[in-house]
Each structure stands twice: as structure tokens, then as C-alpha cells.
Amino acid sequence: MHLADILGFEHSILTIQGVLPDAKSQRNSTVCGLLSNADLQKLNSIIKGLIRFPDLTDEIFAFFIRQTNECTDARAETKAFEALYVLSQFCRPSDQLLPYLVAHLHKRCHSDDEASHRFSFTQNAGIALYTIEGLLERAVPLQDLEESEWEKRRTQVVARLSEVENTRIPSDLRGCSVGELLTVEKMTELFSRHGFPIETEAAVRLSPIESRSECYMDEDRMLFGLLNGVFIHMSASDKSLKEKRFWVTPTLESVCWQTRSSSQIHRLAVRSIREELLGIEPSGLFFLLQLHCRWDLASEREKEDADHVVTLGFLSHQEAQRFLLFLSHLIQWVRTELPSLLGRTEETAGESEGVRAAESVIQQQFALSLRHQINETLHRTLPLARSPQNETLDPLAARYAKKVPRVFILLARKLVELEGYKQEGAFRHSAAQEKRDKYLRWIAMGDYACIETMDSAHVAITVLKRIFYDMREPLFPFEIYDDLIQAAKSTREDCLKVLDLLPPPNRQVAQFLFDLFCCYLDHSENLLTPNSCGICIAPSIIRR
């Protein structure tokens, strides 16, 4: 262990934060965020020092975690996050520490207890989110960089820090700007693709993280709290079950539930999932999967002599297929790898320890292998999400994928599925306010899967228009209102010039809407005209 080097790195971090005095840093003005030139030079020394001693990388990341946890000064905490962001663009911790570091940063991105983030919650949440992105996708091995490339990349990272710090992390999606929607969806897809649990034991001297759940984000439920879990629609006649939200932990050791009126998370140990129950059995609108738990329905408590079957109901065939394929791949991996991981034969590592032993091994020691399994499963199951009815909109969806918020693409796809383009007055007539608000609440929490339950094109269109109407700043920003009105009285070329005044994300969404309207104008039976399109959508996207 290079104790002197560790102490030197830690001393530099403390002087960057301002915890230890440093005359040179105090004389320097800030050049990026709260960091001065002297601070950036110290960071350079730390990063280059880790080239010589890569085995110290985990220790330095762990020190940053402790500093962001224990700091009592708002400025010092923010500087620690800024320095950690820069470090994450060049260095990556070991696979043993990485899940914990991601979980720690995730906690700073999202929490229901705002009191726990008393120092610049919104600002530091943005830094934390982009630090996770750097750790998972952008970190470049320093050994692979030439000196000129190193300087160029350092300049780019520092320049981007100001943009990162200004990222606003919304508590829900109601009123979000187009840019905020894209940011949150992008980051949630990042978590989903890498398959990280948000509850992971530390590999170094760190305190445990308290988290709301331990579920992976399902690709079709894009946001629900950034890894808050895969919530399953329950097929149940009992009213008490209908008032609860249920989900399953990724390692299959428990079914979790939460009432709509309480934030408390309850866990029910899964006693068995028989292999023959992993088939799809249609029953009305649902496709069923059964998990056996020790749970007494009357007392709502776990009992040894109780045998309760929790039925998971899926509202679409492809959702059930995706979930079942995930389970079958995970179970197959557990059965194949568990004996060798535990150092036992297959016979001695069988039914007696069951799923709980597998859960312990997977969650605590083999997160990386599990992540690869989930990543592979997601890639194999993604094609199932597209039904033949949706093929009409595929060119539109493909053209704007990752360019416009996914919620708009899903709503447009649902309109095609419901054949809204054949309905007269589809954009003019509104759905019932109660039904509209119900879907808006779900979407605001990130539960995009609710769109699949829409049974009317009027509902989908009403929700689409209302999302735009609720934005704090309209799609066409306030400052170009006069230019827009004037252009409408002029030539087509003037109108196109106004589009160039839009921020790039807003311009893409505007073009998406125009292409969507063109799909409807191609069908004469809906009696829609360009003028009526403008009358219907203008109040939602243009305000003074």
C-alpha cells in the first residue's frame, strides 16, 4: 500500500474542497463551477498519479464518497462533487466498488426526503447524474491517451462542467421542459441498460445505503423514480390487493408491496416459483404468473403456516413475454453458476437453500455477472415490445428515437394502434378530465407503461396536448412569440427561419409534431386540415 501517495491525494482533495487552507487556491479565481486553476492542477496530479498507482483508484473514489457524505459546508460539498465528476471522466473504480458508487450517486439524484439533501440538492443532483454517466459509459483508460489527447479531453470535460451543474432534476415530469424530459429519460435508459441495483453492500469502509427498493428499471417503465422498480399490475378480486403496488426483486427472493397512502415498503419472501408456472396463461385481459409466499391475507402478515399465491397480471402479451424471459434466463444462470460459486456440488446446493442463497451470492459478490445477464436479456427481448400494429409508425419512431422524449413517441404509437387517424375530431374532442388527469399523474411519475392501457385515441391526444400545455415554458419559448406571430403572416420561408430560433431539442419535437400531423392529413376520413391542426395544438405549444 502506497500510504504516502494516498495521504498526498487525500490532502489535495481536502485543499480543493477548501477544508484545508491553501494560499495558492485562495488567490485564484474560479474558472469552472467553483473550481480554480489551482484546483484543476491538483486534479490533474491526482488523475496522473492514478496512472502510476492504479490500485489506489478505489481508495480515492471511496474518499470522495466519504467527503460528499460527511461534508457540513455547502460550497465544500459542491466542489467535492465537481472534482468527482472530472475524475469519473478518466478513471473507473473496480467492479467491486462500482455498484456501491453508482448507488451512492443515485441517492443524491433522487430522494423523497429532501431534508437529507440540505445542500444545493438540485445542483449536486445534476453533477451526480452525469458522474454516473461518466463512470458507466465515458471513462477512458488513461493509459490509452496520448498527452495531446489527454489535454484535449481535459479541456472538454472542464468546459462541460458548467452545463452539467445547471442540469435540473425534476421530482416528477409534470411541467418539465423538453430538455429535462430528454435528460431524465436518457439517464433512466442508462440505468436500465447496465442493470444496476440501487442497494449494494460496500466493498470498502463505507456505511450502508438506505434505498426505497432493490428492483431494476424495466425498459417500458422508463422513469418511475430512477430505478424504483418494475411495478406489476395485479390481477386480484380482493380489494386490499387492488390498493397496493406490487413488484418483484431482480433476484427473486421477495415480492415487495406498498400501499398508495404510505411510503413504507413491505417484503414477502418467495417460497417457491415452480418451473412449470413460468409459462404464459391467458386469462381475460391478463397474462398470469404465480409466486408462492408465506403470507396471511387477512392479517397482512407473513406466517409460517400460510400459503398465499401472488398472481402477477400483465396487461400486454409482450410485457409478459419480456418478464418471463428475464426470469428464465436469470434462473438458468443461477442453476448453472451457483454450485461453482459456492464451491459445492449441484446436489448439495439445491432446494434447502433455495432462492435466498442464490440472492445472497448474486447481490453481494457477482453483481457484474448479473449485470451482463440482464443486459443480454434486455437486448434479446426488446424486439418483443413492438407489435405488428405499430409498424405503421416505425419510420417516425426510428427517425426521432433519442431525439425527442420517449413519452411522445409512445403516445403517437398508441394513436396509430387505436387508429386515431380514422376518427373525425380526434384532435378537437377532449377526453374526460378525470381520465386525463389519471394518466397524467402516472406519466408524471414515469410510469410510461400506463400508455398501453389507453383505450381511446381521444385520451391519448388529450394527454399529449396537456403535457405540452403544462410545460413551465412552452415548446415555442416566450421570447420568440412575437417573431412567430409575425412569421405566420408572412411567407413559408419566414416560418422556417423562426424554427431555427428554437433550442435544438424543441426544434426536434416541433418537427416530430409536424410529421405526426402529416400522417393524419393523409387520411381524409378524419376531416383534419392544416388550419384545424393549428387551432387544436396552438394553445398547448404557444403562449404569451
What's the total number of domains in the chain?
3
Same domain flag for 273 and 354: yes
Q: With a cut of 70, which residues of the chain have pLDDT below it?
A: 1-2, 22-31, 107-123, 138-147, 171-172, 188-189, 191-258, 260-265, 267-394, 526
Query: Among candidates 14, 112, 4, 9, which has minimal Cα distance to 68?
Result: 14
Q: What tens digit of pLDDT does each residue of 248-262 get? A: 554 445 666 667 666
Is residue 190 situated within a structural domain? yes
Same domain flag for 373 and 398: no
Please state the separation of Cα 10 from the chain's center in Å. 32
Query: Among candidates 394, 375, 410, which has minimal Cα distance to 173?
Result: 410
Last residue of a domain, one of 385, 407, 438: 385
CATH code of 50's domain: 1.25.40
Residue 238: predicted pLDDT? 52
Total-model pTM: 0.59
What's the CA gap between 459 and 417, in Å, rounded? 13
Is residue 170 situated within a structural domain? yes
Q: Kindly state the helix (H) or strand (E) to which residue 137 belongs, with its residue range.
A: none
Question: ∠ at Cα 111 (106, 115), nearest 5°?
Answer: 125
Is residue 211 situated within a structural domain? no
DSSP three-state, residue 174: coil
Contacts of 253 (CB under 8 A, 6+ apart): 269, 270, 355, 356, 358, 359
B/e letters for 128-137, b = 16+ CB within 10 Å, e = fewer, are bbbbbbbbbe
Burial of residue 125, with CB atoms counted within 10 A of its CB: 0-12 exposed, 13-18 middle, 19 or more buried: buried
Last residue of a domain, one of 350, 385, 420: 385
Residue 10: predicted pLDDT? 83
Residue 509: predicted pLDDT? 93
Is residue 437 situated within a structural domain? yes
Q: Which sign, positive or negative, has the C-alpha torsion 224, 225, 229, 234?
A: negative
Same domain flag for 303 and 287: yes
Domain that holds residue 310: 231-385
Last residue of a domain, one of 385, 408, 435: 385
Same domain flag for 403 and 377: no
Same domain flag for 395 and 379: no
Q: What tens digit of pLDDT does each residue of 439-482 get? A: 888 787 777 777 878 888 889 999 999 999 999 889 999 998 88
Same domain flag for 381 and 392: no
Is residue 299 situated within a structural domain? yes
